[in-house]
């Protein structure tokens, strides 16, 4: 696995306190006090009320879901979820030192960029703003992106697991946070390879659904441990991959890519780290997790595992209570793999 420093557009070599090439425990902030009230106060300043649901979207378990290829993605697409996705954009970019990508793309040869599964479109819009001369396409199952966009951006409703039929190859294809969304990752990576120009780059950013702790604070008796394992089980039973991150390098290599770099970052789940950068990222990550607990759980546990809604809400409440205490020093491994199509 290569660990050479990566540069993003306009950036330089990076040294990152989150990166875990030689993973050691994250130092805990022993001075953290009154965590529950502090988290609650911070959450209240970042949350926004839900907007009304569009009538053409299915409503299940009190949440709005995508109408195109219904059921192929387990997460909602309502305003609550859109806010969470934008919060995760903050987590991921902060983890990478405020960089949108690490692949060393050649801007002089980059004219067409694809953002697969663009979600709210926030990454595509940020990239397009930085590079107004580059055409950026974002696709997703849900048309939840803004209407007012830069002239070099286009969004379209599409299923990235369907056959691709683009009129021209791309110079850079980007993918982030498709955990639990893809049935056939090797096929998707082959489609990416086939739709890149020779010398073009791909970058996958994804993580492991599994939450870990280095100090044993995430015990098997905890509700959080139970919830995580139920989520992984339900995702697998639904035919999706809950932990794509560690497998990305192998899929990319098998598809024929070269110059592969694989980097791993620890994303703390909470404000418990002593390091200021880790603490800030951990707080955002925890906020996004608390914000999304029901969205993560309802469809998978009710529709796949056969739970009823009161059961799910009860478990989610226990998990929320545990995580807000900051006594569990958990984190997710976040994988970034970028590679080049041979000339």
Convert the pLDDT of each residue in 73-104 to its tens digit.
Answer: 656 678 888 899 999 999 999 999 999 999 99
CA–CA dist 198, 271 (Å, integer): 44
pLDDT attached to residue 318: 98
pTM of the model: 0.84
> Which residue stretches of the chain have pLDDT < 50?
1-15, 22, 39-55
CA dihedral (72, 76, 78, 84) positive or negative: negative
Domain for residue 323, yes or no? yes
- Label the pairing between strands 112-116 and 63-64: unpaired
Domain for residue 21, yes or no? no
pLDDT attached to residue 79: 84
pLDDT in tens, 305-314: 999 999 999 9
Domain for residue 5, yes or no? no
Write the CATH number for 102.
Answer: 3.40.50.150
Domain for residue 309, yes or no? yes
CA–CA dist 209, 203 (Å, integer): 19
Q: If you ran DSSP here, which 8-state letter would residue 169 be given?
A: -
Domain for residue 27, yes or no? no
CA–CA dist 61, 295 (Å, integer): 9
pLDDT attached to residue 170: 99
* Cβ–Cβ < 8 Å for 210, 243: yes
pLDDT attached to residue 24: 74
Q: Which residue has the tokens 């909602």?
A: 76
Which of 180, 183, 156, 175 lies closest to 167 in space, CA to CA?
156
Domain for residue 15, yes or no? no
Q: Which domain holds residue 89?
A: 35-340
Domain for residue 289, yes or no? yes
What's the number of domains the chain is made of?
A: 1
């Amino acid at each position: 696995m290569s660990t050479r420093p990566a540069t993003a557009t306009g950036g330089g070599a990076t040294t990152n306190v989150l990166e875990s090439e030689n993973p050691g425990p994250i130092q805990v902030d022993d001075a953290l006090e009154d965590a529950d009230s502090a988290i609650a106060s911070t959450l209240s300043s970042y949350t926004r009320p839900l907007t009304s649901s569009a009538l053409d979207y299915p409503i299940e378990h009190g949440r709005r879901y995508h109408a195109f290829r219904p059921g192929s993605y387990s997460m909602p697409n309502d305003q609550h979820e859109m806010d969470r996705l934008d919060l995760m954009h903050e987590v991921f970019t902060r983890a990478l030192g405020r960089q949108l990508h690490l692949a060393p793309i050649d801007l002089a040869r980059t004219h067409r960029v694809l953002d697969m599964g663009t979600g709210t479109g926030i990454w595509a819009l940020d990239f397009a703003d930085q590079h107004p001369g580059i055409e950026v396409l974002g696709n997703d199952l849900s048309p939840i992106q803004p209407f007012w966009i830069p002239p070099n951006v286009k969004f379209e409703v599409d299923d990235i697991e369907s056959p691709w039929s683009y009129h021209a190859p791309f110079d850079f294809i980007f993918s982030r946070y498709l955990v639990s969304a893809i049935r056939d990752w090797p096929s998707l990576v082959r489609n990416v390879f086939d739709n890149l120009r020779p010398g073009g780059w791909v970058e996958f950013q994804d993580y492991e659904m599994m939450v870990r702790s280095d100090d044993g604070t995430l015990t098997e008796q905890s509700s959080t441990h139970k919830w995580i394992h139920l989520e992984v089980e339900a995702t697998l039973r639904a035919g999706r991959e809950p932990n794509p991150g560690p497998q990305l390098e192998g899929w990319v290599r098998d598809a024929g890519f070269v110059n592969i770099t694989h980097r791993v970052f620890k994303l703390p789940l909470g404000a418990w780290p002593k390091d200021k950068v880790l603490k800030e990222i951990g707080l955002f990550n925890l906020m996004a997790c608390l914000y999304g607990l029901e969205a993560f759980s309802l469809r998978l546990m009710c529709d796949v595992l056969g739970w009823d809604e009161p059961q799910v809400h009860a478990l989610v409440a226990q998990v929320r209570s545990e995580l807000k205490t900051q006594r569990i020093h958990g984190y997710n491994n976040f994988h970034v793999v970028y590679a080049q199509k041979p000339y």
